[in-house]
Amino acid sequence: MTGFFASPAGDIGLALFLNAGDPPLEILEPLLLALDAARVDCLELAIPFPDSVSDGPVIRRSADRALANGTDPDGVLSFVARLRPQLRHLKIALFADWGHTVRSRPLPDFLDRVSGAGADALLVHGLPPRLGPTLCETAERTGLAVVTSCYASSDPAVMDEAARRATAYLYLVAQYGRTGTTPPQGFAALAPVIERLRAVGNAPVAVGFGVKERAHLEALRAVGADAAIVGSAFVARMEEAQANGRDPVDEALACVEALRPSVPALPREAIP
């Protein structure tokens, strides 16, 4: 497996999603170090923004908590810059909303800041399609890899464009809807979609939306996905841990162990 995902032989890559600031950044720092030690491949780290129409209630509550904690773009970029040199395996794909975070800034300046902070890639949520070429060209000049996305039901031309432009990975949304919703028919229907995307582009294909458990990862591996993205289910574990006074780091490690038992769990005291 190439690029962002370097999982044990025969397994599938693993990406997790969190809003920066939920848990608070002082807790998020040891949590990311724990994910790195557990050899999670990628963290999609969102700069929080309100009222996302594509997110379900779990991720929307998380974004609201992060914003209430005072999390802002400058703080997130400073956090990434401080932490990135300590990570040996985990890559950070920064997730930024076009309307809330990016649009008010000159695009080259924003990409320079993201690259300078050490983020491994950038996914811009809600980017107007007409700006896709500009984003990719500007990112290439700054040396920043790009995550593109499409739905499994997207028009073939949209899929092909997403596959060609992805330089980090392509985020394949398993079904149209909101985060946290598993396709009622399962993931088997994605096989021809993944085959098409791989024939057009060179970046790994990572599947998200409704990926919650080990059986889902195995199903995605069977249809040829390079990685699985676990978002709402992971955020929900963090929400429950904080609400019930449990350590989010311990909860994160337990979640990873359940998702990928092929990687031996590390004792908590072994985490930097």
Over the stretch 115-168, which tens digit does the pLDDT of each residue have? 999 999 999 999 999 999 999 999 999 999 999 999 999 999 999 999 999 999
pTM: 0.92
Annotation says 55 is catalytic: yes
CATH class of 13-264: alpha beta
> What's the pLDDT score for residue 264?
58
- Asked if pLDDT for residue 61 goes beyond 70, the answer is yes
Q: Which of 22, 36, 41, 55 is catalytic?
A: 55
Whether residue 109 lies in the annotated active site: no
User: What pLDDT is stored for residue 148 in this prediction?
Assistant: 97
Domain residue spans in the chain? 13-264
pLDDT digits (tens, 9 = 90+) for 224-271: 999 999 999 999 999 999 999 999 999 999 999 999 876 655 555 555
How is the chain classified by DSSP, letter by letter? Answer: --TT--PSTTS-EEEEEEETTBS-HHHHHHHHHHHHHTT--EEEEE---S--TTS-HHHHHHHHHHHHTT--HHHHHHHHHHHGGG-SS-EEEEEEEIIIIITTS-HHHHHHHHHHHT-SEEEEET--GGGHHHHHHHHHHHT-EEEEEEETTS-HHHHHHHHHH-SSEEEEESSSS-TTPPPTT-SGGGHHHHHHHHHH--S-EEEESS--SHHHHHHHHHTT-SEEEE-HHHHHHHHHHHHTT--HHHHHHHHHHHH-TTSPPPPGGG--
Q: Which of 44, 97, 120, 226 is catalytic?
A: 44
Mean pLDDT, the chain, whole residue set: 91
The percent of residues above 70 in pLDDT, for the chain, comes to 90
The pLDDT, as a whole number, for residue 186 is 77
